[in-house]
Amino acid sequence: MILHVMLTLCAVLFPAPGEGTHTCAHRGNVTDFPENTLPAIQAAVTLTADQIEFDVHMTKDGQLVIIHDSTVDRTTDGSGSIADMTFEEVRALDAGSWFDASFAGTQIPTLKEVLEIIPETILCNVHLKNAPGVAKAAATLIKDMGRLSHCFLACTVSQMKEARAVAPEIMICNMDRQGGDRKAYINLTIEEGCQFIQLTRTQGTDGLKDDVKRLHDAGVRVNWFSAEEEPLMTLLADAGVDYILTDCLVLLQQVLKNRGGAPAE
């Protein structure tokens, strides 16, 4: 009953599968801001992205933080594995200077901080990384914050089971891609009752329109990772993909506006 209510809320708040192509800001608005930081997320909110994707790791002391890599080396002034660092150590790092000196002092945010600045009219694509307990912790936080209606976990099937043990109603994007076999990936996604799937350009676009239709018929929304150029954006929209993950949010908004899709603000 609870799951039915949550799915009904999602259907009311957001387009149903197959109702047009929409935008997803990959790691926030990374064109102008350092990825996976509050400035990048807030900028994507300001630009009215339809969906925002961000990555979740767990620190040594169990805090959920937003960063893509398993180490802090690429996007901060520090080095080392997130799993081996305390939250205090992670927060002491500069996560902005690598992008531009004007962002010096920008911190790695927590999952809670990110959710607090994203309105419930925008879907949250919460991409879980492989850390023991991260699925349970993320699902618990999302449930406790009352954000189940607009947040979904992009995760493996094993993480899905961990998350559903504490929040049976939580929405899932299946990330178990079955070795790149798109048919097997689609089958698994439907069998597991997932609400989203994330197809990728590495799987190719041959037969994409038929695969998208099959997923829509099963009630699954289709995310695509990723598209940074107009021809691919147009091809994906023609195929009926629901959400396109992109590092070029403004371009995607303009492309969709020009073809009568999601409006650019």
Task: Classify domain 2-69+110-258 by CATH architecture.
Answer: Alpha-Beta Barrel (3.20)
Summarised one tens digit per residue, pLDDT across range 194-219 is 999 999 999 999 999 999 999 999 99
Domain ranges in the chain? Answer: 2-69+110-258
List the one residue out of 115, 195, 121, 211 whose CA is nearest residue 163.
Answer: 195
Instruction: Give pLDDT, residue 264.
Output: 39
Residue environment code for 152-163, b if the CB has 16+ CB neighbours within 10 A, otherwise e: bbbbbbebbebb
The proportion of the chain whose per-residue pLDDT surpasses 90, expressed as a percent, equals 92
Residue 263: pLDDT band (50, 70, 90) is very low
**SS3 call for 119:** coil
Mean of pLDDT values over 1-19: 69
Contact present, 67 and 82 (Cβ < 8 Å) = yes
Residue 265: pLDDT band (50, 70, 90) is very low
Residue 7: pLDDT band (50, 70, 90) is low
Contacts of 42-48 with CB under 8 Å at 24 or more apart are 42/117, 44/249, 45/117, 45/118, 45/119, 45/122, 47/249, 47/250, 47/253, 47/265, 48/122, 48/265
The proportion of the chain whose per-residue pLDDT surpasses 70, expressed as a percent, equals 94
Least confident of 9-18, 156-165, 203-212: 9-18
Neighbours of 21 (CB within 10 A): 26
Neighbours of 183 (CB within 10 A): 12
Summarised one tens digit per residue, pLDDT across range 179-200 is 999 999 999 999 999 999 999 9
Give the amino acid at 112: K
Instruction: Give pLDDT, residue 105.
Output: 98
What's the whole-number average pLDDT of the chain? 94
